[in-house]
Structure 1
Amino acid sequence: MEENVIQTRRKIIHIDMDAFYASVEQRDFPEYRGKPLVVGGLPEGRGGVVATASYEARKFGVRSAMPSKQALKLCPEAIFVRPRFAIYKEVSQHIREIFGRYTDLIEPLSLDEAYLDVTEDKMNIGSAIDIAKQIKQAIKDELNLTASAGVSVNKFVAKVASDLQKPDGLTFIGPSAVESFIENLPVEKFYGVGRVTADKMKRMGLHTGADLKRLTEEEIKHHFGKAGTFYYQIVRGIDNREVQPHRETKSVGAEDTFAYDLTTIEEMNAELEKIAVVVNNRLVKNQLKGRTVTLKIKYNDFRQVTRSQSFTYFLDDTDTILSTAQKLLAATDPENSRIRLLGITLSNFTLPEIPAKPTSSQLSLFNL
């Protein structure tokens, strides 16, 4: 006699705080309310990066990961303040406690966002939509902050949905609507699809999920490598990734695949600068500092190499990350190379008794 196996659909909520750092600052300091506020590195410093911008600043085009000097040009009236990570962490812990009232299956992505699996919730509410509403209301009542929520049957759709009605939004994409939702989704809205990949897709006539769905798995893998399998499944509503409560961050990085091969040092260094800004912003967002910089290079013949540099202190600035990546690149003799992809990763977060960063005259690096 065969055993009947009933597969239960997951109920996934993605909670994303609205302009988290900036909202905390505006909550705590009334003089910032209603004004364009930028939290991050100051524009007069070197390597300053926007961690978060208030919605008033975003109207001028100011975005996370943008150099602070560029943000000032876009919005000369912006108020720049340094992050107060101790406060943000305290608020984040309170938010996590609210999540824990409903489920123990919580996967934090950073201080200001997390996945929750409420397939079976502690309060026996049953409705993921009602749980999301209660969480949003508790955050508003107890912390005087707003959050946006996406509710669906998998992590991909829930995350995309949480961004659709910001700020203070709640978007539900039910099981029967998942495929049509993804089919109508512009490719640049796909989580994990960066600007270069989106541009490549559009040049191929792939503007929406429905366009991607017309490709066979082999075709999509041919054009987009390993990520092609993910795209192939996602456009069919398939995402079996579980919410992982105890995920430990071991590295933070970013990479970019280019629409054309990079052939000059100037082009390569310019792209590394953009990537370094993104990496540093992710470090800031996750309140992390690392000691090891790793450069990833993929050539047009699909050959791939990595090079690493370790420091005797923790890194926390774009300039050092960038200059290290550029030195690692120079050591590969790239002059006659055709480079298809570059990436930078920071790791080695938790070595005890590491000294503070020395002054520039005291820099001490391990040998390449």
Structure 2
Amino acid sequence: MRVILHCDMNSFYASVEMLYQPHLRTVPLAVGGDEEKRHGIVLAKNEWAKARGVKTGEPLFQSRQKCPQLVVVPPHYDRYHRISHMANQIYRRYSDRVEPFSIDESWVDLTGSVDSFAKGVQVAEEIRRTIEQELGVTVSIGVSYNKIFAKLGSELKKPNAVTALPPSALQTIIWPLSPRALLFIGPVTEKKLARIGIHTIGDLANAPETTLRSLLGKWAHTLRQYALGHEYAPMAYWGESPPVKSIGNSTTLPKNLAHADAFVPVVYMLCECVAERLRLSHLRAEVLHLWLRDADLCSQTRQIQLGAPTQVSGRLAKACFRLIHKHWDGAPIRSIGVQVSQLSFEKDAYQLSIFSQKEQKNAELERCIDDLRHRFGHWSIARAVTLQDTQLKIDPLEENSLHSVAFRKGVL
């Protein structure tokens, strides 16, 4: 039997800010937009703010109405990446199979490191204590026999806790939970399942697959297998690079995007990041995926064929704008991501078009920009439109933690 941990650092952004500014530990705190300009959304909050009704993702002005004493600080992503790296180094003391899921979450495979499930729970407790003692933040850890249930376990007890879900917990603890507790099920799928009488993970596990397929399509088999506890995907060794199937970047915004023009700088920023990583890997892409998450944390994903393979940011951005124009319903957007797939190498032959010469010139221009950025820093040269908001800055080589699961979950 496998022994898998899912380690999820609690209220991560807020916890790191309190680590660097200890006086914030005793006040209601939110990490978010510019407090002086009184705009933006809550990216994270501490327990004091949570107790006063502050919610992640809500506009800051609403949070201040609930909690006039709320202290708001801007995000410091360099700090978060530093603590995240240190946490992963601690996990590596116990296993060489550590798989980051996001900046504050990682799976750890103890199967080859412990001789029993009970020993795995003991190791999880040791990791929990070590994270708190050495880093000054807390972590919730789920222990189970697959990755899906390990993540589910890390959500059941927060903060600073270990939850064990052995096979014997399947019917007694896991099956009575809402389907939403499973990693790949979002609010849209939850509503679909409820319409056919599926209200628990157990209902999902025992539903006829033909019924599920008519409702969920190709994901029906996968989700039902997960509900049954059948997840066997091997975990990579730390630092091991699996074959690249997609490249993407995403960002949670300091303030919601509420009108079409607001998308322009962030779309160009993300597409430039993705295109730079394509060129660095000597790849081109044929399909673009756009992921949007609104202020209510509901996600959607749409995709578009790019025609001839490309690694040029302008082509990617135009495809994004077409998807936004066609599919965005006007709901305020909290997070946005761009991912490309169906990758091929630069050296591979492809069908030329009448625009190929212009495409080649644009690619050469962007390679020159890459060279400048690698020598002097990513933001040494930038499109003017991306400089409209100084908070919309990410480094494609440092902040590319977008996981394909985000896009899968958006579909569901």
TM-score by length of 1: 0.70
Q: Could you tell me which amino acid in structure 1 is paired with residue 106 of structure 2?
A: A
Q: Could you tell me which amino acid in structure 1 is paired with residue 304 of structure 2?
A: T
Q: Could you list the per-position Cα deviations for residues 112-149 of structure 1 after superposition, in whole angstroms to 9, with x for gaps in the alignment? A: 11000001128999811111011111111112221110
User: SS in structure 2 opposite 1:250?
Assistant: strand
In the other structure, the counterpart of 2:69 is 77
1:241 aligns with 2:239: no
Question: How far apart, CA to CA, are the structure 2 residues paired with 1:163 and 1:48?
Answer: 27
User: SS in structure 1 opposite 2:34?
Assistant: coil
1:50 aligns with 2:59: no
In the other structure, the counterpart of 1:223 is 215
Question: How far apart, CA to CA, are the structure 2 residues paired with 1:78 and 1:91?
Answer: 25
Aligned in 2, Cα 1:361/1:146: closer, same or farther, shift over 3 Å?
closer
Question: How far apart, CA to CA, are the structure 2 residues paired with 1:220 and 1:253?
Answer: 31
Q: Could you list the per-position Cα deviations for residues 206-234 of structure 1 after superposition, in whole angstroms to 9, with x for gaps in the alignment? A: 11112223321111111112221122112
Q: Could you list the per-position Cα deviations for residues 127-178 of structure 1 after superposition, in whole angstroms to 9, with x for gaps in the alignment? A: 1111101111111111222111000100010001011110011100112222
Give the conservation status (yes or no) of the 8 Å contact 2:53–2:66. Answer: yes
Q: Could you tell me which amino acid in structure 2 is paired with residue 127 of structure 1?
A: K
Q: Could you tell me which amino acid in structure 1 is paired with residue 247 of structure 2?
A: K
Q: What is the deviation of 1:242?
A: 2.1
Which shows bigger deviation, 105-114 or 25-34? 25-34
Question: How far apart, CA to CA, are the structure 2 residues paired with 1:168 and 1:233?
Answer: 30
In the other structure, the counterpart of 1:214 is 206
Give the conservation status (yes or no) of the 8 Å contact 2:143–2:165. Answer: yes
1:102 aligns with 2:82: no
1:18 equivalent among 10, 27, 31: 10
Q: What is the deviation of 1:51?
A: 2.6
Give the conservation status (yes or no) of the 8 Å contact 1:103–1:122. Answer: no
* Unaligned residue ranges in structure 1 (runs of 5+): 1-8, 255-268, 298-303, 315-320, 338-342, 364-368
1:184 equivalent among 171, 176, 191: 176
1:129-140 aligned within 5 A = 129-140=121-132
1:251 aligns with 2:241: no
Give the conservation status (yes or no) of the 8 Å contact 1:187–1:207. Answer: yes
Greater helix share, structure number: 2
User: SS in structure 1 opposite 2:26?
Assistant: coil
User: SS in structure 1 opposite 2:229?
Assistant: coil
> Aligned residues, how many?
308
1:2-13 aligned within 5 A = 9-13=1-5
In the other structure, the counterpart of 2:155 is 163
Q: Could you tell me which amino acid in structure 2 is paired with residue 242 of structure 1?
A: P
Q: What is the deviation of 1:15?
A: 0.6
User: SS in structure 1 opposite 2:156?
Assistant: coil
Q: Could you tell me which amino acid in structure 1 is paired with residue 88 of structure 2?
A: R
Q: CA RMSD in A?
A: 4.2
In the other structure, the counterpart of 1:119 is 111
Give the conservation status (yes or no) of the 8 Å contact 2:3–2:117. Answer: no
User: SS in structure 1 opposite 2:235?
Assistant: coil
Aligned in 2, Cα 1:123/1:78: closer, same or farther, shift over 3 Å?
farther
Question: How far apart, CA to CA, are the structure 1 residues paired with 2:19 and 2:131?
Answer: 13
Aligned in 2, Cα 1:237/1:98: closer, same or farther, shift over 3 Å?
same
Question: How far apart, CA to CA, are the structure 2 residues paired with 1:141 and 1:347?
Answer: 37
Q: Could you tell me which amino acid in structure 2 is paired with residue 214 of structure 1?
A: N
Q: Could you tell me which amino acid in structure 2 is paired with residue 306 of structure 1?
A: I
The alignment-based identity, stated in percent, is 29
User: SS in structure 2 opposite 1:33?
Assistant: helix
Aligned in 2, Cα 1:99/1:307: closer, same or farther, shift over 3 Å?
same
In the other structure, the counterpart of 1:262 is none
Give the conservation status (yes or no) of the 8 Å contact 1:179–1:235. Answer: no
In the other structure, the counterpart of 1:35 is 27
Question: How far apart, CA to CA, are the structure 2 residues paired with 1:324 and 1:47?
Answer: 29
Give the conservation status (yes or no) of the 8 Å contact 1:272–1:326. Answer: no
TM-score by length of 2: 0.63
Q: What is the deviation of 1:203?
A: 2.7
Question: How far apart, CA to CA, are the structure 2 residues paired with 1:176 and 1:125?
Answer: 12
Q: What is the deviation of 1:96?
A: 1.4
